[in-house]
Every structure is written in structure tokens, then in C-alpha cells.
Structure 1
Amino acid sequence: MADEKPHCKVVLATNIAKSLLEEVQDGLAKIGRKPLLVGFLSSTDPAARVYAEWTGKTANENGFAFELREIDREELEDALLDANNDAAVDGIIVYYPIFGNRQDQYLQQIVSIDKDVEGLSHRYIFNMYQNIRFLDHANTKKSILPCTPLAVIKILEYLRIYNTILPYGNRLHGRTVTVINRSEVVGRPLAALLANDGACVYSVDINDVQQFTRGEGLRKRRHEVHEKPGWTLENCLPISDVVISGVPGDKYKVPANLLRDGAVCINFSSDRNFSPDVKEKASIYVPAIGKVTIVVLLRNLLRIVQNKIDAAAEASRENVSEAVQTSES
């Protein structure tokens, strides 16, 4: 009898996005209006335009208003400042890369924190790396996280890689993850988020490997980073339960022969980083995550609008309280 072929479950982003969309629809019904998301496209990158088109399609199909503004990159700064001051605009997304240098980082910081659906403002980034999950002392307003790293987290939750028996914040304890990509937009934030949730993460870049961890027994409140001199994928992949890759370019492929049997493999590059033979080793393979990323973007927008509504209600209560105290005195 011929040997049975290995069984690998291919999970599509569309199926994962559906469950998240239900959560978004519930939140949208409570708001009772269409939040307006404005996208700014100043990039010549074809992938940026595809992302913009997907965003608009998903937003419009799910009860949000979306407006794409194509702006010359030299005029983008003023356009962002105008959108910050426009009360009709609930959320702002900028499709990067634009200049491809530190100018892009500057543009990320001028988007109002109250409209930054991508979670790229300084306070959001600081909170993420410091493992501060809320914006207020009462722990009622969650901080905004970058869309693509958060999409990967949501995919891992969907796949039950997160152990829900463990306390919130420790649910990746015992998991070993390799992230191939250490960009400031996706790879490094993702490694930090996974480590802050308890995983031992090997962050692989073109030159080296770093380990992100909260220490033995999760003793640290937030992750710390250790260099792994001499380490390569040959050290990381055989011991990893989960392998997540986002290397730009169609020539790069994760060496399937190094994968641990039964590993979970997720590709977040616009190119396929895994060749077809990944199915001979992986138990679960997610070939793309774009549709989940867009739903997470809408989820972030919803959270920003809700935070704004809650802040206005709190301010109104304080004004009423002050008025009562004044009248009584």
C-alpha cells in the first residue's frame, strides 16, 4: 500500500476575516453611523494601490465610509494636517512606502493619535513595546496596535495557538516562534507582541538572529532582546512551533527541509515565502493575511471612534457634576 500523503490544512484569510467581521458589525451597530476612513495614496508601489483598493472595498461592503485621496508626496504633509483638523474624518491611513526613508517615519508621527488607525503614533508604539495595553488607568480604553502584526495575532488566536486556559497576556507561554523579517513596521513589532504574550521568539533578519523573551517563567513584565551570535535559520526553524515570514521579493523561500514536523506556517509578504513543499512538513499553512489586516484596520477605526464617544460622554458627566456643585454652593 502506498504511503499516505502528509496532511496539511491550508487556511485562507477570507475564512479568518469572517469571524472578525462579525465582531466589527456588532460594534458598528452600537455606534449607529458610518465612520469615515480616509486613505492617502502617494506611493508608486503597486502593492500599496492594491491594499488601498481592498481597504475601500471591504470598508464600503461592511458599513463604513471610505475616501481615497491621491496626493503628490510633496503635498502629503499638509493634506494630513488638514485631515487631522477635519471633524468629519474619523480615521486616517497612509499607504507606505512613500519616500522610503526617515521622512516616512516623520509622516507617521504627524497623524493625530485620535485618528491613527494604523497604530504608528509614538504613544501607541511606546505602549506596544512596553507591554502597556490600555490608554487609561481604569483599563477601559485599549491601545491601538499596528494592523499587520495584530492581524497575525488574530490569526494565531483563530488557529488556537493561543492557550485560552492561561491568563490573558501569558497565552503563548511554552510556544517557540520564528519571525523572518525585522522591519520596523511589521517584523519587530510582531516579535515584541508575541514575546509580550509569553512566546520565545527568534527574530531573523538578513544579518543576524535576536531572541525576544520575557525570561524564564515569564518573570519580566515586558520582553527583552538578546543577540544570538552565530545563529541562523538552521538553529531556529527545527525548534519552532510557528514560523512567520514576510520577506519582500519572489526569490526568497523558507527552507522547508528545516521546518519542524507539524509546524504552523504563516506568510505575510505580498510574495509567497513558502514553496509548495511546505505542505509536506506543516500542519497548518496560511498563504496570505491581507484580508485579515484590512478587517483589523476597520476594528481599529471602530475602537478609535468608540474611545472618542466614551471620552465625550465622560466630559459631559464631569460638566454636569461641576454644574451641580456650583448650583449647590
Structure 2
Amino acid sequence: MSRFVHSRNVSTATDHIPTCRVVTAKKISERLFAELQEDIKDLSRKPLLVGFLASEDDGAKVYAEWTGKTARQNGFEFELRTVDREELEERIINANQDPKVDGIIVYYPIFGNRQDQYLQQIVDIEKDVEGLSHRYLFNMYQNIRYMDPARTKKSIIPCTPLAVVKILEYLQIYNTFLPYGNRLYGRTITVINRSEVVGRPLAALLANDGASVYSVDIENVQQFSRGEGLRKRRHSVSEKTGWSLEQCLPLSDVVISGVPGDRFKVPTHLLRDGVCCINFSSQKNFDPDVKEVASLYVPAIGSVTITVLLRNLLVCSH
């Protein structure tokens, strides 16, 4: 039985022992930033991250401001370039060719259609801190972890999925006694969200690390897995016909949700006692009573995502 699954405490009116530990993204990111400081102290110059803002989207503006502030506080250079969206393609190409620029981030949405996907592929792979280049995405889904046979340079992973992985490592959901790449073996995880930006990549990452993952969206449930005994090198996907949260949640050691909007809530009564819950939506997908069931709860992940972005920048600058 998972060490995260236990009976709920029976409390009296005079003695209630909390069973849930709420872990903030700030707490997790502090440790990750300390590791980054060790990595950058011997560099001859501060790595430069250039951000492109080409829309009036409020979320993009906040993200850009937050990126700049966090980067500068932690020993990185950041330059925000506000441009007209019709000029963005040329400006990205210029930044690709500028040897002083170590990393590039583009704040989406811009056009809100396939043209945004085209722009993602314009960013030079050597400067793609977001991990959105086709080669990086291919490696992620194929469970290829390095860019070269000598394993000297890691493949970049998209920031938000990698942030969730780092949180799970911090919470010791990953079993470090197992070999690297298999450390989620025995875990059952539900990911609620199957977007191409976060949900599907996250399910693939977790399954490639050995978990059995139920990927849930509004239409259906899919299972991501490397098969019985982790016999496959990379994950495969199967349809769970007729399944919904009612079948997935009671089986899951970990539940990760990122549904946009304030209407969706994960049904607390379906959660397994001692579950680990992580919310990556800007809205709270879990009701307050989740703390009566969960053993670990992470209500937001924003600052961890920024930390991972800067980690990717460090990889690009080497």
C-alpha cells in the first residue's frame, strides 16, 4: 500500500490533529533557486533571457512581469521586448542570431490560432527555454532524455509539466531507491486536463517515469502507461471506454488538476484517503475540504514554473 494512503484520523472535540500538509510553491521554489545559485556562481556572465510580448492579454503581461522580477532577483538578466504581432516573426529571428541572447520566451496567446504554433517553431532550438520546439517535444514523448549520444546535454522539457515533476520530487512521490526513469513505478496518478500545452505532456512525462496515469478531459479518459512491469521503453495510450472521474479518483495516489475557469471542482468525496493533490490552474480546482482527505496539498505552482524556466535558460546558456 502506498505510504501516502492511510486512514483518516479520528478526532475528538478537544484534540484534532491535522492530517494534511499544505505545501506552497514558494517553499518548493526556494530550494530549487538555491540549486540554481550553485550552478550560476562560476559563470563568466549572467545569462540573458529575452521575452517577447506581442498582445494585450493580461495573463501574458503578468507572466512577463513576474519572469523579469524573478530572473533579476536570482542572478539572471532579463529584457522584455514589446512588439507589434506582425513584426514578431522578424524580431524572433533577429534574437536567434544575436550571440548575447541565451534564451527566448514568447508570451502567448498572440494570434490565438495555428500561427502561434508556427511562431513556436521559429525560436532557435538552442535558445528555446520553453521546450516547445518540435525536437524537444519529440524527445519528451519518445522518452529521449538527452540531445546527444554522450548524454552531455539534457533535452529541454516544457516549463509547467516539468514544474509539476519537480514538485512531485520535492514531495518525495518519486522513489529515489528505484533507478532513474522508473521512480514513479507503482504510483497511480490522475491528471485532469489534456491540453497540448500542459495536460498531455504531463501525462506522458509521468508515465515515462513509470506511473500509471489516467488522463481525463471533458470527453473521455485515457490511460498512459509503460505496460505491466514497465516493459516498454516509452509510454503507450489506451482508451478507458465508459470511464470518468468516478473510476479514476478512488484508485489514485496523486491527483493533479488544471481546469481553467471557476466552475469545475474535483469531487472530494471520490478522493482516496491520504492522496496528494496538486492544482496548476489559475483557479482553485479543489474545494477547501480537500484538506480533510489529502495528506499533501499544493494549491498553486506559479513560482516553481518560473524557477524551471530559469533552469532551462541555464541549460541553454551552457
- Report the TM range for the smaller structure's normalisation: over 0.9
Q: Which residue of structure 2 lines up, in the alignment, with residue 318 of structure 1?
A: none
Q: How many pairs does the alignment contain?
A: 306
In structure 2, how many angstroms separate the alpha carbons of the residues matched to 1:246 and 1:93? 22
Aligned residues: CA RMSD? 1.0
Q: How high is the TM-score relative to the length of structure 1? A: 0.91
| 1:29-58 CA distance string (max 9 Å, x none) | 122211110111123322221111111011
Bigger CA radius of gyration: 1
Q: Which runs of 4+ in 1 moved over 6 A?
A: none
- Please give the residue correspondences for 1:194-233 in structure 2 after superposition, counting only pairs within 5 Å: 194-233=206-245
Q: Amino acid of the residue matched to residue 243 of structure 1?
A: V
Q: Which residue of structure 1 lines up, in the alignment, with residue 66 of structure 2?
A: 54
| 1:155-212 CA distance string (max 9 Å, x none) | 0000000000000000000000000111111100000000000000000011111000
Matched, 1:106 2:121: no
* Pairwise CA distance, 1:260: 0.7
Q: Amino acid of the residue matched to residue 309 of structure 2?
A: L
SS at match of 2:126: coil
* Pairwise CA distance, 1:252: 1.3
In structure 2, how many angstroms separate the alpha carbons of the residues matched to 1:110 and 1:38? 15
* Pairwise CA distance, 1:7: 1.9
Q: Amino acid of the residue matched to residue 279 of structure 2?
A: N
- Please give the residue correspondences for 1:43-82 in structure 2 after superposition, counting only pairs within 5 Å: 43-82=55-94
Higher alpha-carbon deviation: 42-51 or 270-279 = 42-51
In structure 1, how many angstroms separate the alpha carbons of the residues matched to 2:114 and 2:266? 30
- Please give the residue correspondences for 1:291-302 in structure 2 after superposition, counting only pairs within 5 Å: 291-302=303-314
Higher helix proportion (structure 1 or 2): 1
1:141 aligned residue (138, 153, 170): 153
> Contact between 1:179 and 1:245, CA under 8 Å: does it hold in 2?
yes
Q: Amino acid of the residue matched to residue 92 of structure 1?
A: I
Q: Which residue of structure 2 lines up, in the alignment, with residue 321 of structure 1?
A: none
Matched, 1:169 2:184: no
In structure 2, how many angstroms separate the alpha carbons of the residues matched to 1:237 and 1:98? 36
Which runs of no fewer than 5 residues in structure 1 stay unpaired? 307-329
1:84 aligned residue (96, 102, 106): 96
SS at match of 2:191: strand
Matched, 1:126 2:161: no
Q: Amino acid of the residue matched to residue 296 of structure 1?
A: V
| 1:209-246 CA distance string (max 9 Å, x none) | 10000000000000000011111011111110000011
Matched, 1:41 2:81: no
SS at match of 2:197: coil
Q: Which residue of structure 2 lines up, in the alignment, with residue 323 of structure 1?
A: none
In structure 1, how many angstroms separate the alpha carbons of the residues matched to 2:273 and 2:110? 40
Q: Which residue of structure 1 lines up, in the alignment, with residue 193 of structure 2?
A: 181
2:264 aligned residue (234, 252, 265): 252
In structure 2, how many angstroms separate the alpha carbons of the residues matched to 1:304 and 1:104? 22
